[in-house]
Structure 1
Amino acid sequence: MARLLQLSDLHVVAPGQLCSGVLDTCALLRAAIDRLIAMRPALGALDGVLITGDVSDDGSPESYAFARAELDRLGLALLPLPGNHDNRAAFRAGFGDLEIMPEQGLIDWAADVADCRVIGLDTLVEGQGGGRLRAESLDFLAAELDMAGGRPVIVALHHPPLRTRIRFMDAIGLDNVPALEKVLERAPQDVTVLAGHVHRVHLGRVGRHSVMTAPSVCSAFALDLRAKAPVGFLKGPTGCAVIETGPGGTWSVLPLDQAEGPYPF
């Protein structure tokens, strides 16, 4: 069994700046890491941190340096992927020392974590909000699925292969979901697909495989399904997730907002 933290949508900016003129995402990330460190005894042993995109909001080298320093405080193996706000070159420079990081091209990787094969796919299309899986990434996924055997498999990407019905987010979703579904059909085992991008929890399926999206470390989107829903974010709730693989494995939301208690009942 593998146990991973999933962090998503950090949206870090250069220190001293505010994300969207509102959020001090440097302070929010530092507080989140402090809280996770304090919670480690309650969480038990962890094998790594899966980071499903939008590490940076402005793509600046300074934002990646800050995020990397904070993430390293967890003392866990890092498994990062880019999101639509990331800059691929700056992202690669910030995480280039990681064994999984390809030296050039798309940031697709695979790693063994305990008994699980974790496959990361790059959906970033620089200059736009929506995402796409290129043919190279789909071929990479197909080869990795063939090699995974009977082991548990996690496929991680930023843009989720589902629709939230939040229209302004679906407008910048993953634009070739059927291509992903076709590749996943060949998997002999159930695959867990983990994503970010939508800043809240959504559960769905791509083919027969489960899809789960993580909350954001810094903000949220309201579940407003109206055709003319206001476009914008909320300051909370914030959170992350804990994943356990294997038979009986779970995916659990971990709120990062402070709450009083526990009280006896």
Structure 2
Amino acid sequence: MARLLHLSDLHAVATGTRASGVLDTNDLLREAIDALSGRLTAIGRIDAVLVTGDISDDGSAESYAIAKAQLARLGLPLLAIPGNHDRRSAFRDAFADTAPMPDDGPLDWIAEVAGTRIVGLDTLVEGQGGGLLRARTLDFLAEALDRSQGKPVVVALHHPPLRTGIRFMDAIGLDNAEALEGILRRHDGPLWVLAGHVHGVYHCMLGGHPVVTAPSTCSAFVFDQREEAPVGFMLGPLGFGMLDTAPGGVWTACPLVMADGPYGF
């Protein structure tokens, strides 16, 4: 079964700029890949890297080239879906060689990795922060699940079908999670939904299947559910996820920066 490195929300930018005028996301991505490269031996076999959106912050061709070059340093197959900061045309140009993507419309795709079917879904509504699963995408997913032939399935999308309680993020969430739930509920095989967007780890169940979001490589949001919670990001914690789709396998979140240790006990 597949072992997937789950990254999200890289927010790469064109050279000489910073995301939100603050974050040197390109340097943060380089540091993240350095850290991951040094830990691959400890993590064990990885079959592919799955990036759940917002690879770019500005949608520029240069930002995608920078991100792809950094991700290539891992020496692993790459799969990616767009997020709300991405731009569909530039994204397609950059990543069409990683999975079979249509020439127009939503960038939905299917990849087979180590006995696992991975279904990438496009929730991007260009010019908006929130996401939407279009009818064409929902039909694509339903057919992909019907043809999964009992294989484990990973459904990847940027906007998670859950609410965090962080008001400014929930306001730009997935508009039609209930449509996704209806399709997932009809599937009785092993299935995981992996997402990003919220720059942190959140879990829920949808249609009888687990949903989990990955931390970002560049910033995080405080878990603050007050109505008057400040709108903005923190410089950490940063991290990544890893999923093992074998029976009994787990999704785990790992920090990019480790504390001192290990100490004997």
Q: TM-score range by the shorter chain?
A: over 0.9
Structure 2 equivalent of residue 20 of structure 1: 20
Structure 1 equivalent of residue 255 of structure 2: 255
* Counterpart mapping for 1:29-178 below 5 A: 29-178=29-178
* Counterpart mapping for 1:215-234 below 5 A: 215-234=215-234
CA distance in 2, matches of 1:262, 1:21: 37
CA distance in 1, matches of 2:218, 2:41: 24
Report deviation, 1:5.
0.2
CA distance in 2, matches of 1:99, 1:123: 17
Report deviation, 1:241.
0.4
- Letter in structure 1 aligned against 2:156: A
CA distance in 1, matches of 2:244, 2:160: 20
- Letter in structure 1 aligned against 2:112: D
Report deviation, 1:102.
2.7
The answer to whether the aligner puts 1:198 opposite 2:183 as a matched pair is: no
Report deviation, 1:121.
0.3
Gap regions ≥5 residues in structure 1: none
Please list the CA deviations of residues 19-49 of structure 1 after superposition, one character each: whole Å capped at 9, or x if unmatched.
1111100000001011111111101111000
Report deviation, 1:251.
0.3
Residue-pair matches, total: 265
Query: Normalised by the size of structure 1, how large is the TM-score?
Result: 0.98
Structure 1 residues 122-131 or 143-152, which shifts more?
143-152
RMSD: 1.0
CA distance in 1, matches of 2:49, 2:128: 26
Gap regions ≥5 residues in structure 2: none
Query: Normalised by the size of structure 2, how large is the TM-score?
Result: 0.98
Whether contact under 8 Å (1:96, 1:103) holds in the other structure is no
CA distance in 2, matches of 1:209, 1:188: 9
Report deviation, 1:104.
2.5
SS at match of 1:70: helix
- Letter in structure 1 aligned against 2:93: A
Q: CA 1:99/1:159 → structure 2, altered by over 3 Å: closer, same or farther?
A: closer
Whether contact under 8 Å (1:157, 1:196) holds in the other structure is yes
Report deviation, 1:196.
0.2
Report deviation, 1:87.
0.6
CA distance in 1, matches of 2:204, 2:96: 33
CA distance in 1, matches of 2:99, 2:204: 32
Please list the CA deviations of residues 184-208 of structure 1 after superposition, one character each: whole Å capped at 9, or x if unmatched.
1221213211100000000101121
Whether contact under 8 Å (2:79, 2:99) holds in the other structure is no
Report deviation, 1:128.
0.3
SS at match of 2:90: helix
SS at match of 1:192: strand
Structure 1 residues 96-105 or 186-195, which shifts more?
96-105
